[in-house]
């Protein structure tokens, strides 16, 4: 899939992004939510190019049943902050890596909100998108026990996979002679 068109019934999370070019990053958030079976939707909504649509989306989000919004944008990334200004739902911002400043511009635009309108800011790029989804699940877990349990399973499985990888690596190392003969 090369553009966001995910539409679960009764979504709890809305993933929005400023451009189709952000999908490469934001699809990681969608994949994590899908794995945790968190109903969500994905949309292109730009603070600069479609501001009316952004206001409409953010204003209606709560009434539509959304409980968390994840907003990804790059460059002069106003999308998460503007979204947060139009809803009391938690908004998680993902700074998308930009070409010229490598996402530092996106990070600062999203993180440096003036006091009064918070945006929970994640890391730049793929890691931020993954963590935004995991944090959304953690927030939803307070009300939806099945999501909390799915998150718990994810964490256990992640540790198990990492441990297995470390053991496999240690096994490969110990199979090597300490002083390889040439």
> Contact residues for ligand RP5 (CB under 6 A)?
17-19, 21-22, 46, 48, 73-75, 96
Our CB check for ligand RP5 shows the closer of 96 and 137 to be 96
CB of 96 to ligand RP5, least distance (A): 4
CB of 49 to ligand RP5, least distance (A): 7
Our CB check for ligand RP5 shows the closer of 72 and 141 to be 72
CB of 149 to ligand RP5, least distance (A): 34
CB neighbours (10 Å) of residue 108? 14
Contacting residues for 51 by C-beta, under 8 A, at least 6 apart: 82
Computed from CA positions of residues 25, 1, 100, 17, in that sequence, does the dihedral angle turn out positive or negative? negative
Our CB check for ligand RP5 shows the closer of 11 and 18 to be 18
Contacting residues for 169 by C-beta, under 8 A, at least 6 apart: none
CB of 45 to ligand RP5, least distance (A): 10
The full DSSP string for 22-78 is GHHHHHHHHHHHHHTT--EEEEE--TTT-HHHHHHHHHHTTTTT--EEEEEEESS--
Our CB check for ligand RP5 shows the closer of 48 and 126 to be 48
């Amino acid at each position: 899939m090369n553009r966001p068109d995910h539409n679960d019934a009764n979504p709890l999370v809305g993933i929005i992004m400023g451009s189709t070019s952000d999908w490469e990053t934001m699809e990681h958030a969608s994949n994590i939510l899908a794995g945790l079976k968190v109903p969500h939707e994905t949309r292109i909504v730009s603070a600069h190019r479609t501001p009316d649509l952004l206001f409409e989306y953010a204003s209606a989000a709560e009434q539509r049943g959304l409980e968390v919004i994840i907003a990804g944008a790059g460059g002069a990334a106003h999308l998460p902050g503007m979204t947060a200004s139009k809803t009391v739902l938690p908004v998680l911002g993902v700074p998308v890596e930009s070409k010229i400043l490598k996402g530092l511009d996106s990070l600062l635009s999203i993180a440096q909100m003036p006091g009064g309108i918070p945006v929970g800011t994640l890391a730049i790029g793929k890691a931020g998108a993954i963590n935004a989804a995991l944090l959304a699940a953690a927030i939803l877990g307070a009300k939806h026990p099945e999501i909390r349990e799915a998150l718990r399973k994810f964490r256990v499985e992640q540790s198990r996979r990492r441990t297995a990888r470390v053991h496999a690596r240690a096994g490969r190392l110990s199979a090597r002679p300490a002083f390889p003969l040439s």
